[in-house]
Copies of this chain bind each other. A is one copy, B any other.
């Protein structure tokens, strides 16, 4: 309940963000938003044109935030493999799923060009960012030359997005962690034959446990 010292439109956006994450677009009603924001009908229709308009504002903010968080990890220190590993192992509320990715399963979001756009842009940006890092690793010899940046990037992102599905199906984040570990094992520089020409595999990769235990 964002009934504190922030503006009403701010409370409306934040409440919508929460509900879109928890229940998706079709599962979120204006009434529920208003209750959570502790506001009346009039406030919502004063600040926004309706449910789609408010949802758009909420999705845009979530997208921006997610991009910033991802960049914080992907733009951090370390070799390409280490940065991808850091992205995969970053702390996550696994059972809540991805606030952006989940919207792709929402029929009304997919049906609307406007609502889908920020989702598409965010995921597209992430794919490109990861692809660049993979290419970087390839030039440096950390990844094999037979690997394609866009393809590996897609596999990495898909493992995360699909990991949420496995976790939510079983009601436990363990399946998410397993998938991430599997992908990391496959990506591990020490495993790749063709990269050995340029860089010898580092000392035996210490097995890392994911942070998501919630």
Residues of A within 8 A of B (CB): 22-24, 26-27, 97-98, 101-102, 104-108, 110, 116, 119-120, 123-124, 127, 144, 146-148, 150-166, 168-171, 175-176, 178-183, 185-187, 190-194, 196
Provide the bound-state CA to CA distance between A22 and B151, in Å.
28
Q: Is the CB–CB distance between A169 and B119 below 8 Å?
A: yes
Chain B residue with minimal CB distance to A193?
B193
Given A27-B27, A123-B170, A154-B179, 8 extra CB contacts under 8 A: A23-B107, A98-B165, A105-B105, A120-B169, A151-B185, A157-B166, A158-B161, A162-B162
Give me the 9 closest cross-chain CB pairs, A-B, nearest first. Answer: A158-B162, A162-B162, A155-B182, A151-B182, A161-B162, A154-B179, A154-B178, A158-B179, A186-B186
Please report the C-alpha to C-alpha distance between residue A152 and residue B186 in the assembled complex, in whole angstroms: 8
Contacts of A164 in B (CB 8 A): 104
Q: How far is the CA of A164 from the CA of B97 in the complex (A)?
A: 15
For A165, give its contact among B22, B162, B185 (CB under 8 Å): B162
Shortest CB-to-CB span from A118 to chain B, Å, is: 10
A158 touches B166 (CB 8 A): yes
Question: How close is A12's CB to chain B, nearest CB, in angstroms?
Answer: 20
Residues of B within 8 A of A101 (CB): 162, 165, 169
**Chain B residues positioned under 8 Å from A150 (CB to CB):** 178, 182
Given known contacts A158-B163, A166-B158, A127 and B175 CB-to-CB distance under 8 angstroms: yes
Is B105 a contact of A144 with CB atoms below 8 Å? no
- A104-B158 in contact given A147-B186, A182-B148 (Cβ < 8 Å): no
